Structure 1
Amino acid sequence: MREPRLVSNPLYAPSQVTPRTAEPSHFHHSLPGYAPTPLIDAPHAAQRLGVASVHVKDESARLGMPSFKVLGASWATYRVLLRHLGATREEIPTLDALAARLTNSGIRLCAATDGNHGRAVARMARLLGLSAAIIVPGDMVGERIEAIREEGATVEVIEGGYDDAIRRSAELASETTLIVSDTSWDGYVDPPGWVIDGYSTMLSEIRQQFRDAGLSAPTIVAAQIGVGAFAAAVARGFATESQARLVGVEPTQADCVTSSIEQGGVTTIPGPQLSIMAGLNCGTPSIIAWPDVSAGYQTFVTITDEQAADAMRLLASDGVVSGESGAAGLGGLLCHRDELGLGPDDSVLVISTEGATDLQNYRAIVGDAAARLDLDVHQHEGALR
């Protein structure tokens, strides 16, 4: 197993990062139950890091789901369907208007997933009265598969990893089966770009919450990386802030972006990727996310599963229920605190991108700490189901 490492980015060029968009916000406000997720002060994390403050954007309950992914999936689904219908956003501005146009359309949505993105696509299909086919890698835990099925989707479990699931989903594309992927490949770039755009709503919320609380802008922003869509959105939100240092975090077992930085271009790493950080188990960076990720981050770090688990326990001590992938950003800062030169003048932002999507594993890792601090893990079962 590879040891955790820190890589300074020779490709860093923040002026080349795509500007953040505000376009998805209106559509997101039309989704049932939309509300900004909380920004939480995390004093125990700040003490461990030796910094002035840590604030956590808690995405454990977003639009009734346990992850931020629904923001990207919903916007990309909307744009994919508009293009299929030959309609404009002005003609179909809301979810309800879109559903009305799709009655008896026979359209099926399809996505490959390591959990949260596919479930979000399945939720969008259900809200729109469409069917959905979700392709998952063979090592996905049963709880995440069942959560997707409970959205009404069919689930195909394939041999191999996430990259294999992506290839299978691409094979299913047709006039009536529309692919909504959060990663790109040759000839397929628009929907993954729309996924990145969809995450902008979360970044706008963060900036507004910092202003409303009278907080100075963060000096350190950590973002976990799978194929890079989320990391690209974070780069668009913060790379042009001169005082913000962006740190990308990956598992040691799934370090495709860090390896690509070292190689100077998009690189596929050998599989399988089997980290407990299931949402980050990716072997190839998204080509549509790569330009913003490679230009927007000063530093990339990798962490082990145990270091992610340590971050889960620390977040629990600050009242945040964070899953394995969700805690990775903080895990990267904890593991590489000294190398990163974190100090008492730093204000840190981390984004807990998911709640306890594997409750059994969450309890195994955090259970005692959760009990001591009276954290009600069961409150997340409603979002999970």
Structure 2
Amino acid sequence: MYRGCPTRKIFLPKRVGRTRPIDRTDAAARRQFHRSLPGYRPTPLLRSRSLAAETGLSEIYVKDEAERLGLPAFKMLGASWATARAIQREWAPDALLTLDGLRRAVEDGPRRRLAAATDGNHGRGVARMAALLDLECDVFVPSGTAQARIAAIEGEGARVTVDDGDYDDTVRISAHEADARTLVISDTSWPGYLDTPRDIIRGYTTMFEEVDDALAASGLPAPTHLFVQCGVGAFAAAAISHYDSRGSDGGAARPATIVVEPIDANCLLRSAEHGEVTEAPGPHWSTMAGLNCGLPSLLAWPTVQGGTDGYVAISDSRAHGAMRTLAAEGIVSGESGAAALAGLQVLLEDREAAGRLGLAETSVVLFVNTEGATDPVNFRAQVGEEPSETRRAAPARHHDRHVINLSEEEQR
């Protein structure tokens, strides 16, 4: 089923078979590693009664990743774990998976470095890991990247190179940086390069484990529907893998999963339509910078294809509207961060598509605010206030929502 208009596209595929999840055999070591990082704490899981009432749904949960490990996005979860595993795999097989252990492993010998391609958040996470481990770092960004995102990466101590092409061009450039002293930490894959992107996907699953912990402690119902914003598909693969594995262990049924993309960078929707990896031709100029990807990850695609129930492509105007909706809830969200809510809003406007996906008054929806205001200039333009004003006003605005997994003292 395909339905579309100039500002949105909806595609509901026929399921192609059993999900092919990314295995999670390293879960215990990964969570222990994340907990050891400076500033680790579970990010807030919000229960919004006002959003649920506005949409006619039973519950809406928002996993708020506006700040994760001192950075304004969830990406550090994947970048940190993938960097740790790459160091252990390529440079120091006996290294302990702790910051101190990794530092000791890389302090002797030639000066080493990390390299990455990014639209902003992933590259900053890689740069932060390089700084923590006293490594050099080179990050490649596409033309049109917001100056605030470039400055943030440089603020971590990395060298930033702006390429004239798009994100997929920077991926190809970064791939050529690999050598004996350089690890490429990419969140997408290509033939022969699978281990690190697989570890990035595994790293992301920590946030969904935190959601499980919070809901179990509160006694609230598990999600029936999951909306995930996507670039190359790694984030969706993490979510699908987590809930597929949980269901196979006798847990709650896997939620219906809906992928949300920019309308001119909808490579996953196009791939689902064609039944194979398909490029969304550029240029990709969406302000949803973290989602501006033209080609799915070869590693993530089989999992996404096997576990996605619906695809929604949205315009920038829909993402900007969702930013304002979240700000009214006291939630600071960037363009990519608000995309999942925008996808939910678009889908609910199409009663036939929503019905086919089982969205109804008994539904429990989970989505992730994947980033804060990583482009403060556009945040001000769309929301009409500074991010700090949204945060300061949050206590007065969130009378219809509460934080499930934080104590009353922490919420204050």
After TM superposition, is the score higher than 0.5? yes
1:4 to 8, 12, 24: 8
1:110 correspondence with 2:115:
yes
Q: Structure 1 residues 5 and 31, CA, compared in 2 at 3 Å: closer, same or farther?
A: same
Rounded to whole Å, the distance in 2 between the matches of 1:14 and 1:314 is 36
2:144 to 139, 145, 160: 139
Deviation digits for residues 244-289 of structure 1 (CA, Å, limit 9, x no counterpart): 1111111101100000000101111210111110000000000011
User: Partner residue of 1:381?
Assistant: none
Rounded to whole Å, the distance in 1 between the matches of 2:228 and 2:327 is 19
Deviation digits for residues 69-123 of structure 1 (CA, Å, limit 9, x no counterpart): 00000000001111122414xx413111111221144111000000000000000
Rounded to whole Å, the distance in 2 between the matches of 1:236 and 1:300 is 17
Q: Which runs of 5+ in 1 are unaligned?
A: 377-385
User: Partner residue of 2:317?
Assistant: 306
SS of residue in 1 equivalent to 2:269:
helix
Rounded to whole Å, the distance in 2 between the matches of 1:249 and 1:306 is 14
Rounded to whole Å, the distance in 2 between the matches of 1:107 and 1:2 is 48
Q: Which runs of 5+ in 2 are unaligned?
A: 395-412
1:3 CA displacement = 4.1
Q: Structure 1 residues 37 and 373, CA, compared in 2 at 3 Å: closer, same or farther?
A: closer
Residue range with higher mean Cα deviation, 5-14 or 198-207: 5-14
1:15 CA displacement = 4.5
**Contact 1:313–1:369 (8 Å) recurs in 2:** no
User: Partner residue of 1:333?
Assistant: 344
Q: Structure 1 residues 2 and 160, CA, compared in 2 at 3 Å: closer, same or farther?
A: farther
1:13 to 11, 17, 20: 17
- Report the AA paired with residue 77 of structure 1: T
Rounded to whole Å, the distance in 2 between the matches of 1:373 and 1:27 is 29
RMSD: 1.8
1:310 CA displacement = 1.2
1:98 correspondence with 2:102:
yes
User: Partner residue of 1:66?
Assistant: 72
1:272 correspondence with 2:277:
no
User: Partner residue of 2:56?
Assistant: 50
Q: How many residues align?
A: 374
User: Partner residue of 2:398?
Assistant: none
Deviation digits for residues 224-248 of structure 1 (CA, Å, limit 9, x no counterpart): 1100010100101224452611111
TM-score, normalization by structure 1:
0.93
**Contact 1:12–1:298 (8 Å) recurs in 2:** no
1:20 CA displacement = 4.1
1:68 CA displacement = 0.4
1:287 correspondence with 2:298:
yes
1:347 correspondence with 2:364:
yes
**Contact 1:316–1:375 (8 Å) recurs in 2:** no
Q: Which of structure 1's runs of 4+ aligned residues deviate more than 4 A?
A: 368-374
**Contact 1:45–1:315 (8 Å) recurs in 2:** no
2:274 to 240, 263, 272: 263
Rounded to whole Å, the distance in 2 between the matches of 1:56 and 1:357 is 18
SS of residue in 2 equivalent to 1:110:
strand
- Report the AA paired with residue 287 of structure 2: I
TM-score, normalization by structure 2:
0.87
Rounded to whole Å, the distance in 1 between the matches of 2:85 and 2:15 is 31
SS of residue in 2 equivalent to 1:111:
strand
1:368 CA displacement = 5.2
Identity %: 46
Rounded to whole Å, the distance in 2 between the matches of 1:355 and 1:296 is 27
Deviation digits for residues 199-247 of structure 1 (CA, Å, limit 9, x no counterpart): 1111110111111121111111100110001010010122445261111
1:11 CA displacement = 3.7
User: Partner residue of 2:253?
Assistant: 242
1:375 correspondence with 2:379:
no
